[in-house]
Structure 1
Amino acid sequence: MESVQSNTPALQEQDPRPGLMVDRSFWGMTVTQFLGAFNDNLYKQLMLLLAVPVALAAANAGGGAGESSGDIQGWASLVFSLPFVLFSGFAGYLSDRYSKRPIIVLCKVAEIVIMLLGLLAFYFYGMFGTAGTWIVLFLMGVQSSFFGPGKYGILPELFRAKDLPRANAIILMTTFLAIIFGTVLAGTLKDVLAGEDGDLTNLWMGLVVCFVIAMLGTCSSLFIRRVPAAQPGMPFSIDSVAVSKDIYAVLKQDRVLLKALLVSSVFWLVSGIAVPTINRLGLELLQVNATSTSLLTASIGFGIILGALVASALCRKGWGDTAVSIGLWGICGSLIALGFWTQGDQHALGFTGSIIALVVMGIFAAIFSIPIQVFLQERPPLAVKGRMIATMNQANFVGIMISGPLYQVFEAIAGAFGWPICSVFLMMAVLVLPLAALYRLKSKQPT
């Protein structure tokens, strides 16, 4: 098996690949990821907002915190994340067996088809109801599960090792700009096209935007240069649909890599609980409209953009391991701040205070996640990078998949005790606290 440290200083000096800022593949990859993240988050946030109409009605009618809300956001998260668990292993096999560039392009073509189906699902909403929109949500998860291993696995193949932290930071920043725009636009579309009466028949107009964005993303993917397959002769085996024997061997040998993978999964579990909780915070507890609620959710993205700059600088200075711990403690503190309420079930921070706390949480989330992401990209041997990225996707989306039912459990606990929905943030802090106290990334430690 190849050494986990495959790049030496001498090889890096002789690396013929172009610098990051003059590499059209970098800009092609950045734009492609931006447009894909925009579509994913617009549609997903729209589905989450549509999953809480009863909660909003109860709040507007003066319903108590302990009443049943009918909130099914957790199940929407489960539908979107399930394909990642089912298909990421096979997607990782494909990304190592074949060149990652054509896989990326084909995934973008599939996005065009899925966005067209989404448009039709809303246009014929009166005929098919929610069934069509949920099927499209599942298909979006399938498309993203095949796009992910190629998207992240190709970065070390396209760019020099010294450019990876900067490339990850820029792509992460632009991705979260896309998340912000997509999330906020989803709330605006719901307010403008559905109106106060919740008539969904006009929402198909918003999906026209998604269809055009998917076509533009397909065009930008053509600027990514082709890279050779990592393992062109690799045969298919049944373990390719889950964790392959090669990946299992790498993780068994490299416990530092295994721990980082597990911690990343828990982080995404907490992230998966955060979004529906924030939506309920805005719609129910703060009683703002869908646009303002989506602005709350997008505040995390603003924070991540700021935090990405800090994380990139820390990684370049060799302080990535310390940054992971700082990020975990910051996330934990932000969750605790968001979890408090006053008498009369009023949120302690209010709308403006919540935005500030969510921005701060996003900053610390980036400080945590970028060093982990760079480590998970660089550490595995070249021959298994695609499958390792797929395994990382699987682990992360196992966390996100679990977050759906777990959110429903936390929401039920809050309702049973008569606590407002912001109490779920305190429950999330309980999940993060052990990681902050006990986990330390030791990327430079010999395995």
Structure 2
Amino acid sequence: MSVVNPYESPEPVTETVPPMQPGSSANSQSPLFTDPSFYGMTATQFLGAFNDNLFKQLVLLLAVGGTAAAVEVAGAIEKTSARQGPDIQSLAMFLFAAPFLLFSGFAGYLSERYSKRTVVVACKVAEIGIVLLGMAAFALWNVTGIAGLFFVLFLMGTHSAFFGPPKWGILPELFAKRDLPQANGIMLMTTFLAIIFGTASGVLADWFDVQRLWLASAACLVVAVLGTQTALLIRKLPAASPGLAFSPSALTVPGEIVALLKKDRQLLQAMLASCMFWLIGGIVQPSVNSLGIVQFGMTKGPTSLLAACMGVGIAAGCLIAGMLSKSKVNFRLVKIGAWMLVIILAILAIPGDGKWNMLHYPGTAVALVLLGVFAGFYAVPLQVFLQTRSPESLKGRTIATTNLANWIAIVASAGVYYLFGVVVDWLSVPRATVFALTALLMLPVAIFYKPRE
């Protein structure tokens, strides 16, 4: 009896991205770079992603050592690792990611039932209110503690969950089909730039004690107001399905997609491989924070720069992978990316002198850039394949199902990171050991996922 490898393709497959054909409504639109809606939408999503990552990073840095570490920022206790509380980043990550599981289906329904432009503007207005609550949570730290910030972080995740479907779904309604590849590419690139700048701006945590971090979070308010203004540049659009009735099936995976995934094993494998990308990413981000603060003993500024290095690498990797792939789905890049992720993660875990790993701070920064580059190699071909493999009639729901699956992986990453932390504490080994455990998690994908060119 033969054993079937669930990651191996049953037959050779070469996917070519179909050229964009001019649609009936496409050519009536303005050229991409002369359309105010393009600049409005690009700026709006950039500012939104920046805000998400700045606020999330401020909270994660406080959560590295639990509430004791947060009080330590205020100078209330002497800085010693023994006095720090537990690392509760996993709880913070879960609270930010949970709304994507709870509300993604309903958010997709709203983006079809009402004008996507209206939903975008409403989300930006809501963001202003949420950021004001965040400022209050920092100002009232002595009263609410970390719980107040966690509540606001959940609201930020909820805002992002409702913003996601109209953000990507509005592009075909705004722009000509011939411009969609370029528009999507620029949107994706600016998203990663927002992650880089937002995460790096976590250095603000070093400039204020915890009771005055509301001043740092005031930057989020400025960004939210600017994002609302840029959203108004998007031209008004009609609702895609104004008569769409709500059905409970909108909150689940449609039966047609379940049947498609059972029939098309190549598509299912790619979706699982995509989930692994987000699972690994969800573990690595807090691991970098823990490495810098707990093991290296650095402040939050240099630690945020380490996280930004990884973002720079992902942005560069996505750009390079797109150039190398051209019009084809280049699965060789996926294989290279998977193996390099395993290797670099393992190298990051090798111990060095004293508190450092083998690479020390400069080498760790370079390794994280390379980790991001090869993550881009791994992710881009999978994303293109998932977008082009499914039939036109099921494409939107396939992408929605992929997004839901990815967020399940992100939520799961919080639990996996927590378990890895328990193992590290039980073994009394350096925090960098989490990278080795993550490499072991990625290893089966590198070995068994074999999509044929």
TM-score by length of 2: 0.86
1:266 corresponds, among 248, 269, 276, to 276
Q: Could you tell me how far apart the structure 2 residues matched to 1:229 and 1:327 are?
A: 40
1:352 corresponds, among 349, 362, 381, to 362
Give the aligned residue type for 2:46.
F
> Does 1:245 find its partner at 2:255?
yes
Identify the residue that residue 104 of structure 1 maps to in structure 2.
120
> Does 1:95 find its partner at 2:111?
yes
Give the aligned residue type for 1:76.
A
1:401 corresponds, among 403, 411, 422, to 411
SS in structure 1 opposite 2:211?
coil
Question: Which consecutive residues of structure 1, in runs of 5 or more, have no partner in the other structure?
Answer: 195-199
Contact 1:96–1:231 under 8 Å retained in 2: yes
CA drift of 1:226 comes to 4.5
SS in structure 2 opposite 1:277?
helix
Deviations 1:139-198 (A, max 9, x none): 111111111122223334444555444333322222222222211222x2211111xxxx
Identify the residue that residue 84 of structure 1 maps to in structure 2.
100
Identify the residue that residue 11 of structure 2 maps to in structure 1.
none
Identify the residue that residue 423 of structure 1 maps to in structure 2.
433
Q: Could you tell me how far apart the structure 2 residues matched to 1:391 and 1:156 are?
A: 19
Identify the residue that residue 62 of structure 2 maps to in structure 1.
50
Q: Could you tell me how far apart the structure 1 residues matched to 2:400 and 2:108 are?
A: 5
Q: Could you tell me how far apart the structure 1 residues matched to 2:352 and 2:16 are?
A: 53
Q: Which moved more, 1:11-20 or 1:371-380?
A: 11-20
1:2-21 to 2 correspondences below 5 Å: 11=22, 15-16=26-27, 17-21=29-33
CA drift of 1:233 comes to 4.1
1:30-429 to 2 correspondences below 5 Å: 30-53=42-65, 61=80, 70-160=86-176, 163-186=179-202, 188-194=203-209, 200-227=210-237, 229-342=239-352, 344=354, 346-380=356-390, 385-429=395-439
Compare relative contact order (CA 8 Å, sep 6+) and give the higher one, 1 or 2.
1
Q: Could you tell me how far apart the structure 2 residues matched to 1:311 and 1:402 are?
A: 27
Q: Which moved more, 1:124-133 or 1:110-119?
A: 124-133
Q: Could you tell me how far apart the structure 2 residues matched to 1:422 and 1:162 are?
A: 46
CA drift of 1:332 comes to 2.0
Give the aligned residue type for 1:77.
M
Contact 1:95–1:386 under 8 Å retained in 2: no
Contact 2:95–2:150 under 8 Å retained in 1: yes
Deviations 1:346-397 (A, max 9, x none): 3111100000000011111122223333333444455655544432222111
Cα separation, partners in 2 of 1:93 and 1:62, compared to 1, 3 Å:
closer
- Aligned residues: CA RMSD: 3.0
Deviations 1:306-326 (A, max 9, x none): 212212212324253333223
Give the aligned residue type for 1:53.
G
Give the aligned residue type for 2:279.
L
Deviations 1:19-57 (A, max 9, x none): 443333332222111101111011111111101236978
Cα separation, partners in 2 of 1:165 and 1:420, compared to 1, 3 Å:
farther
Identify the residue that residue 197 of structure 1 maps to in structure 2.
none
Give the aligned residue type for 1:192.
W
CA drift of 1:418 comes to 1.9
1:25 corresponds, among 18, 37, 40, to 37
Q: Could you tell me how far apart the structure 1 residues matched to 2:212 and 2:97 are?
A: 27
Q: Could you tell me how far apart the structure 2 residues matched to 1:123 and 1:59 are?
A: 22
Contact 1:165–1:374 under 8 Å retained in 2: no
Give the aligned residue type for 1:108.
K
SS in structure 2 opposite 1:421?
coil
Deviations 1:384-436 (A, max 9, x none): 55544432222111111111111111011112112111111111111222222
Question: Which consecutive residues of structure 2, in runs of 5 or more, have no partner in the other structure?
Answer: 1-14
Cα separation, partners in 2 of 1:10 and 1:151, compared to 1, 3 Å:
closer
Contact 2:26–2:175 under 8 Å retained in 1: no
Q: Number of residues paired by the alignment?
A: 431
SS in structure 2 opposite 1:334?
helix
Identify the residue that residue 8 of structure 2 maps to in structure 1.
none
Give the aligned residue type for 2:273.
V
Contact 1:304–1:363 under 8 Å retained in 2: yes
Q: Could you tell me how far apart the structure 1 residues matched to 2:206 and 2:19 are?
A: 55
Cα separation, partners in 2 of 1:120 and 1:387, compared to 1, 3 Å:
farther
SS in structure 2 opposite 1:347?
coil
Q: Could you tell me how far apart the structure 2 residues matched to 1:337 and 1:331 are?
A: 10
Cα separation, partners in 2 of 1:189 and 1:343, compared to 1, 3 Å:
closer
Q: Which moved more, 1:307-316 or 1:319-328?
A: 319-328
Cα separation, partners in 2 of 1:13 and 1:143, compared to 1, 3 Å:
closer
Q: Could you tell me how far apart the structure 2 residues matched to 1:380 and 1:144 are?
A: 26
CA drift of 1:293 comes to 0.3
Give the aligned residue type for 1:178.
A
Q: Could you tell me how far apart the structure 1 residues matched to 2:17 and 2:256 are?
A: 17
Cα separation, partners in 2 of 1:219 and 1:14, compared to 1, 3 Å:
closer
Contact 1:88–1:391 under 8 Å retained in 2: no
Q: Could you tell me how far apart the structure 1 residues matched to 2:444 and 2:41 are?
A: 36
CA drift of 1:437 comes to 2.4
